[in-house]
Amino acid sequence: MNRPRHFNLLARVLHWSMAVAILAMLFVGTAMVVSLRHREALLDLHRPLGLAILLLAIVRLANRLRHAPPPLPDDLPRLQVWAAKASHWALYALMLALPLIGWAMLSAGAYPVLLFGGVELPPLLPHSPTMYGILRPLHGVLAYVLFFTILAHLAAALYHAWVRRDGVFGQMARGERAE
Amino acid sequence: MSTPTPRRGSALLLLPIALIVLALALLFAWTGGWIGDKGVTPQTMVNTAEASGSPPPGFRRAHAKGICIAGTFTPTPAAAQLSTARVFSQPSTPVLGRFSNPGNDPHAPDNKAAVRGMALQLKTDDGQEWRMAMNSFPFFASSTPEGFQAMNAARLPDPATGQPDPEKMKAVLARHPEIANFMAWSKSAPTPNSLANTRFNGVNAFRLLDAKGESRAVRWSMRPHTPFVAADPAQLQGAASDFLAADLERRLAAGPLRWDMVMQFAAPGDPIEDPSKAWPDTRPETVAGTLTLVRAEPQADGACRDLNFDPLILPQGIAGTDDPVLHARSAVYSVSFNRREREVSQGAAQQGSAR
C-alpha cells in the first residue's frame, strides 16, 4: 500500500484549528487562575472550549487510526524518528486527558459543569474531596506538560521547514494538489 | 520518502526558531504570573489570610470555624416576576448551608467573632444551582480587592515588634479612605446574641433577569424573623467558646428558624460596583422568599465541609455584576478550596470537630 505524501484534508483542518483552540485554551487557563477580576469570564470560555477540544480530539484520533500518516524521511536520524512518534502520541494523550480530567475534577469538587445558556454536563465522578485534591493539581501540571510538548513540536516543525527542508512541514501545511 | 536529498538550510536558522519558542514560553510565563508583576492575585490574598495565624490543614483559609445547616427556601409569588430563576417558581427548594466566624482559626472562641457569615447552596429540580456567601456586615470594607488586601496585610504583625505597625494602617487608610467607614461600623455596631437573630447581607450587587429580558441590579439580605437582641458585652466576655453553635442547636430543637430574603433595588446612579457603599434604606425592596432552617450539624463530617460557596455559581436568571470584590471573592475562595482539598487528599487534614 502506498503511503500518502500528505495528511488528509480532515487531519489538516483539525490540526490547524485545534492548534489555535489549544493554545488559546492554555493561555486562558493559565491566566484565569491568577486573575482577580476575569476568572469568571475566562472560566465560562474554558469549559465549553475544553469540551470542543475533547470532541475534536476524538474525531482526530479516529481519523488518524483509519488513515496512515505520510512517512517520515528515510534519512531522519533514529532518535528524531523516535522523538517525533513519542511526542505525537503524547500530544494525542494530553488532548484527550486534559478535558476529561477538567470535567472529572469539577465533578469531584461538586462544581456544576456549566457550558452556556444553562446547559450543563453530567458529573463524571461523584463528589470526592480526595479525588478533587488529586485531579486539580494534575490538571495544572499536565497543562504545562502539554504547553512544553507543543513548543517542542513547533520547534521541530520549523526545523524541518527551515533547516532540513525535507518536506515534513508541507505534509501538514499543504494538500496533494498544491505541490 | 524517496525524494532526492533536498538543499538544507543554514544552521543559523536555528536561531529564529529558538527565539520564537522562547518568546512563546515567556509570554506563557507572564500570563501565568511566573514573571513580571501581576499585582494582587488570588494566591497573594490567600497567602495573607494564611499569614494571619497558623491555619490547620484541611480548613478554609478564611471563615474557618463553622457549622453546617439545612432547610428549605420558599419563594413569594412576587419573586417569579423578578427573575426567571427556577428557585423563584419552584414551590420549595432544599437548602444546604453554613454559618461561619471570620479568621482562619477553626477553634477560635465565638465571642471574638464580631462578624458572622451565612453561606447557602440551593439546587432546583432543573439541575440549576445557586451558591451565595453573605456576611453580617452591611457593606464591604473596601471598594476593591486591592484595598482589602492592603488592609489585611497592614493588620499582620510586624516581624520586628510582633505587633501590627499603625503607620502601615494609616497609609492604607490614606489610599483607601472608604475602609474608615467599615472600621467605624465594626466599633459601634451592636453584636447580635445569636445566629438566629443576625441579619446577613449579600453585600455585592447582582442582576435579576426577568422573562421580558429586563435586568435589575439588586443587593439581597436575609432578615431574621427572630427579634434582634444585642449581646451584652459583659456576658459575651464570659461566654463559652462555642456558644453560637450551642444556642443555634437549642433554638432548632424548639422549632425551625426563618429569614426573609429581601431584594433591594438600585436607583439610577447608585454605586452598583462598589460594595463598600450601602444603598440608601429608602430604596424599594421586595421580599423574594423565606429561608427556613430546620437542622444543624458539625462541619467535621457535615455536608457543607467540602463545598466551595463561590458567590458566582448562579442559576439562569441571576447574573453577577462587574463589582470587582465579587469577582475576587470567587477567585480567592477557589484558591482556598484547592489548597484545603489537596491537604485532604494528602491525608494531612486534621479531623478536629470544628473542621
- Cell 470535567 belongs to A103
Q: Choose, out of A36, A44, A81, the residue to mutate when testing the contact with B (most B CBs < 10 Å).
A: A36
Residue B303 contacts A where some CB pair is shorter than 8 Å: no
What does the pLDDT read at residue B140?
A: 98
CB contacts of A35 in chain B (<8 Å) are 41-42, 331
Tell how far CA B324 is from the center of its chain.
13
Contacts (Cβ under 8 Å, ≥6 apart) of A147: A26, B28
Residue B229 contacts A where some CB pair is shorter than 8 Å: no
pLDDT above 70 as % of chain B: 96
What does the pLDDT read at residue A17?
A: 98
Q: Do A109 and B41 touch (CB under 8 A)?
A: no
DSSP element (H, E) containing A159 = none
The residue of chain B nearest to residue A2, with distances taken between CA atoms, is B1
**Is B63 a catalytic site residue?**
yes
Quickly state the pLDDT bin for B355 (edges 50, 70, 90): very low
Quickly state the pLDDT bin for B5 (edges 50, 70, 90): low
- Which residues in B273-299 are b (16+ Cβ under 10 Å) and which e? bbbbebbeeeeebbebbbbbbeebebb
Q: Is the pLDDT of residue A179 over 60?
A: no
Q: Do B316 and A74 touch (CB under 8 A)?
A: no
CB contacts of B344 in chain A (<8 Å) are 129-130, 133
Compute the mean pLDDT over every residue in chain B, rounded to the nearest whole number.
94
Identity of the residue numbered A50: G
Ordered domains of chain B (ranges, CATH): 51-143+178-345 (2.40.180.10)
Q: Is the pLDDT of residue A112 over 70?
A: yes
d(CA B332, CA B43): 7
Say how many CB pairs under 8 Å bridge A and B: 134
**Residue of B63, B107, B176, B327 marked active site:** B63
Q: Do A110 and B307 touch (CB under 8 A)?
A: yes
In this complex, the residue of B3, B21, B324 whose CB is nearest that of residue A154 is B21
d(CA B41, CA B160): 26
The residue of chain B nearest to residue A73, with distances taken between CA atoms, is B1
Q: Is the pLDDT of residue B2 over 90?
A: no
The residues spanned by each domain of chain A are: 9-173
Answer positive or negative: Cα dihedral of A39, B103, B230, B239: positive
Chain B closest CA to A12's CA: distance in Å? 20
Q: Is the pLDDT of residue B27 over 70?
A: yes
d(CA B270, CA B273): 9
d(CA A72, CA B147): 58
Phi, psi of B196 (to 5 degrees): -65, -30
Quickly state the pLDDT bin for B113 (edges 50, 70, 90): confident
What does the pLDDT read at residue B354?
A: 41
Q: Do A73 and B17 touch (CB under 8 A)?
A: no
DSSP string across A41-69: HHHHHHHHHHHHHHHHHHHHHHHHHHSPP
- Cell 462598589 belongs to B274
The residue of chain A nearest to residue B33, with distances taken between CA atoms, is A34
What does the pLDDT read at residue B6?
A: 67
Q: Is pTM, for the whole model, over 0.90?
A: yes
Tell me what the mean pLDDT of segment A49-54 comes to: 98
Helix axes of B179-188 and B166-175: crossing angle, nearest 10 degrees: 120
How far is residue B125 from each of residues B34, B128, B163, B185, measured CA to CA in Å? 43, 7, 52, 40
Q: Do A136 and B5 touch (CB under 8 A)?
A: no
In this complex, the residue of B18, B41, B313 whose CB is nearest that of residue A36 is B41
Cβ atoms A99, A54 nearer than 8 A:
yes
Please give the CATH number for the structural domain made up of A9-173: 1.20.950.20
Answer positive or negative: Cα dihedral of B226, B232, B235, B240: positive
What does the pLDDT read at residue A176?
A: 75
Quickly state the pLDDT bin for A177 (edges 50, 70, 90): low
pLDDT tens digits along B273-292: 999 999 999 999 999 999 99
- Those of residues 164-193 in B touching chain A at CB distance below 8 A are none
Q: Do A159 and B14 touch (CB under 8 A)?
A: yes
B176-B179-B185 Cα angle (round to 5): 165
Strands B206-209 and A113-114: unpaired
pLDDT tens digits along B211-265: 999 999 999 999 999 999 999 988 888 899 999 999 999 999 999 999 999 999 9
Contacts (Cβ under 8 Å, ≥6 apart) of A110: A127, B306, B307, B308
Cell of A11: 487531519
ipTM above 0.90, yes or no: yes
Cβ atoms B145, B42 nearer than 8 A:
no
